[in-house]
Structure 1
């Protein structure tokens, strides 16, 4: 039973797949002949993607219009796929968003939704799909974090904290899963050209105007290759790797001040 995955076409589930890194990850998997389950709350864009990808790649595509800030969405996704007889070989927890501003002044409702999407739904989906992966002796999980996971983030305090959770959680279960045939990779991109900055209302922050910001396509390809190579952590780009390593040796109060400066508005 554990070898069934070798004789059939594999299926990947990608959350937040209508835009940015999620869209590009779906595109990369489609190019490698994976059937797709695309999850996003943007129904119109999902329909356009399915119409584009299906004839182009000759794969099966199922779209699920779900808002992961709603606590019941992970269970609904899992149940609908079980009822349809769709087995997930690769789970990509990409959905996430950020908020910008001083914590005492930012909107609590938005931040609670962010915690639900970035942490709770990611954890819930992983829990739901993991047991079947272990039972079949094969599976891959790609959790999208950020270089934000490696340090505190003044002016984006809750967002940075959510990504620290994703990294810690993913590293821990990657260790637990050794020898099961299931691997977990955490993708930690730096600033990337996408709709993230606009959604977080931080278009005028200094960090949104760094030179040579990586594009979503490059980040997605690195994420896919790292997942297939069974890497535990993938940090795209030399600059981001240097940043992460330097943070380990710098005093925490200095790191926090530097990050605060990077997130200040441009003058």
Structure 2
């Protein structure tokens, strides 16, 4: 069973459905797409470590409530206690969920409905990675990556979107990767799932134009987090990129929040990664294919 770490005060702060009678999707006169972070209810997946944990820390000072979802209940409990000690008026709900399990994902969404959860900002941060030749990859790991990086992200977005549309306000921040801009030999499945996230975010943003809802894809390069310890190279070394492109997790999250508030479609933290992605996207595909063939075993570093 999942951990339900809430007090009466917490539940009052978090729960409360979207108001009715609001304009429908695309109605003329809808407010511009801006996210009001002060007093918002935030749902963060993959919140027990890394980028997700940093989102919780940076948003704790302005949010009304946080719903933190991850697999590791002990880490979530530690983070909840830390945040509530620093911010006594903040309501924090933790949910132990493995998003690679469709049954647990479904139960989470049913909990939203049962408790009339109100989400103003959804941060789809949970993600899995792996590296190595696809021909020798673990099929189960590949399936888990797809379920977490693609299926869970799309399902949670679909589930909370109607209430945002009804309120004519809200934000969706999808954590993608710079690996999603280009094919990445050695991280074939991971890069493909992140290409989905970026494309999904751009298309959804276009669909929601004029609704008051912001959609942003965060596409970081290498970030020194626990993700790199889990997504290891075939030789067992953690996935850490070159130092000149490494960006501190605090800056990654700060840039993402600023980008969301500014209604930017894509956020790439760090000047070096911005430049690298610009050059990569300007490279003709025939030349890119030649370059990729020269490095058939290259690993993803993001």
TM-score, normalised to structure 1's length? 0.91
Whether the aligned pair in 2 keeps the contact of 1:90 and 1:141 (CA below 8 Å) is yes
Deviations 1:9-51 (A, max 9, x none): 3100000000000100111111223410000010000011111
Equivalent residues, number: 263
Report the Cα distance in structure 1 between the residues aligned to 2:298 and 2:143, rounded to whole angstroms.
Answer: 25
**Larger RCO, structures 1/2 (Cα 8 Å, 6+ apart):** 2
Cα 1:200–1:207 shift into 2, 3 Å: closer
- Greater helix fraction, Structure 1 or Structure 2: 1
1:100: Cα distance to partner? Answer: 1.0
From 248, 257, 265, the counterpart of 1:224:
257
RMSD: 2.3
Partner of 1:119: 150
1:75: Cα distance to partner? Answer: 2.8
1:83: Cα distance to partner? Answer: 2.5
Partner of 1:210: 242
Q: Is residue 2:56 matched to residue 1:26?
A: yes
Q: Is residue 2:292 matched to residue 1:256?
A: yes
Report the Cα distance in structure 1 between the residues aligned to 2:79 and 2:65, rounded to whole angstroms.
Answer: 13
Alignment of 1:179-194 (within 5 A): 179-194=210-225
Whether the aligned pair in 1 keeps the contact of 2:39 and 2:62 (CA below 8 Å) is no
Cα 1:263–1:231 shift into 2, 3 Å: same
Cα 1:248–1:31 shift into 2, 3 Å: same
From 185, 198, 205, the counterpart of 2:229:
198
Partner of 2:80: 50
Report the Cα distance in structure 1 between the residues aligned to 2:237 and 2:105, rounded to whole angstroms.
Answer: 33
Report the Cα distance in structure 1 between the residues aligned to 2:97 and 2:300, rounded to whole angstroms.
Answer: 34
1:78: Cα distance to partner? Answer: 2.4
Deviations 1:78-119 (A, max 9, x none): 221332333000000000011111101010001101100000
1:178: Cα distance to partner? Answer: 0.3
Q: Which runs of 5+ in 1 are unaligned?
A: none
Partner of 1:84: 115
Report the Cα distance in structure 1 between the residues aligned to 2:45 and 2:238, rounded to whole angstroms.
Answer: 29
